[in-house]
């Protein structure tokens, strides 16, 4: 797809669709309740994004403390940033998509689907585990670097 067409669709099409739905909802329930509902979803979404962002930051810290690479957690943080942006935009469709991205199983499933389609993650393997060596090749030995000293060599 042409990137210019995609850019035009994103930055012109989405606001027009949002405006249409805002007008429809406003004609049904009134202008003031529509504005109040839009502000309410932005505030509620901001609070939920903040809570889940703190939770994700804690999981990143725990993974790093265990010596693991927190790749999935970092990607979840990026998706939470996108969800927060969508919730701050006025409109019901972007709010619905933003709230959908706040559901942890949905967010994780979308990330895994994206990683599998991009070829980063192989199907049937859990994220964060190294890939097995090709057939006929021995796995490389695991090297743990560190310092040591012998207790019995020291003078009392």
Q: Sign (positive/negative) of CA torsion 97, 101, 103, 106?
A: positive
* Sequence-separated (6 or more) residues with CB below 8 Å from residue 144: none
What's the predicted TM-score (pTM) here?
Answer: 0.70
Per-residue pLDDT reduced to its tens digit, 52-94: 999 999 999 998 898 888 888 899 999 999 999 999 888 999 9
Asked if 94 and 87 touch (Cβ cutoff 8 Å), the reply is yes
Domain boundaries, the chain: 11-117
Nearest alpha-carbon partner for 92 in 10, 11, 26: 26
Q: Could you identify the residue written with the tokens 């994700």?
A: 56
Per-residue pLDDT reduced to its tens digit, 90-118: 899 999 999 999 999 999 999 999 888 88
């Amino acid at each position: 797809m042409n990137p210019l067409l995609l850019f035009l669709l994103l930055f012109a099409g989405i606001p027009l669709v949002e405006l249409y739905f805002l007008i429809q909802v406003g004609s049904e329930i009134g202008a003031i309740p529509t504005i109040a509902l839009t502000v309410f979803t932005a505030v509620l979404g901001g609070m939920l994004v903040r809570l889940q962002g703190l939770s994700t930051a804690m999981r990143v810290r725990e993974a790093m403390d265990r010596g693991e690479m927190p790749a999935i957690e970092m990607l979840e943080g990026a998706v939470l940033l996108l969800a927060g942006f969508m919730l701050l935009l006025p409109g019901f469709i972007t709010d619905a998509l933003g709230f959908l991205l706040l559901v942890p199983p949905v967010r994780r499933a979308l990330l895994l689907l994206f990683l599998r389609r991009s070829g980063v993650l192989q199907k049937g393997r859990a994220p964060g585990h190294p890939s097995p060596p090709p057939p006929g090749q021995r796995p490389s030995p695991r090297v743990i670097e560190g310092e040591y000293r012998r207790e019995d060599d020291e003078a009392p």
